């Protein structure tokens, strides 16, 4: 995104959530989202953890659940120009 903004390359591709986050912090960036774009593979973004690292996985899930419960996760979304539609609730 820096290369697009600095005109080192003509175009780039990034997840719209990432671009929206950047633009919410600096509206002067030469970035935009495509309004008529249709996702080829719609879905959610996940975090990869080594298969055998169960203790890390449990700690990560516990922290994510804490952040959901106390509103921290939602606050981070809002801070980055997003809303609850960008948060998966399980």
Tens-digit pLDDT profile for the chain (90 aa)?
788 888 888 888 777 777 878 888 888 888 877 777 766 666 666 788 999 999 999 999 999 999 999 999 889 888 877 777 777 766
Residues 35 and 24 sit within 8 Å (Cβ to Cβ) = no
The whole model's pTM is what? 0.54
Give the Cβ contact number of residue 71 at 10 Å. Answer: 10
Cα separations in angstroms, 21 against 52, 67, 68: 33, 19, 19
**According to the model, what pLDDT value does residue 44 have?**
67
Residues 7 and 33 sit within 8 Å (Cβ to Cβ) = no
- Alpha carbons 22 and 80: distance in angstroms, whole number: 7
**According to the model, what pLDDT value does residue 84 have?**
79
- Alpha carbons 27 and 21: distance in angstroms, whole number: 10
């Amino acid at each position: 995104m820096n290369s697009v903004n600095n005109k080192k390359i003509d175009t780039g591709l990034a997840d719209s959530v990432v671009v929206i986050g950047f633009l919410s912090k600096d509206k002067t960036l030469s970035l935009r989202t495509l309004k008529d774009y249709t996702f080829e593979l719609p879905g959610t973004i996940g975090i990869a953890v080594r298969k055998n690292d169960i203790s890390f996985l449990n700690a990560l899930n516990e922290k994510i659940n804490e952040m959901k419960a106390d509103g921290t996760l939602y606050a981070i979304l809002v801070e980055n120009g997003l809303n609850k539609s960008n948060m998966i609730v399980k």
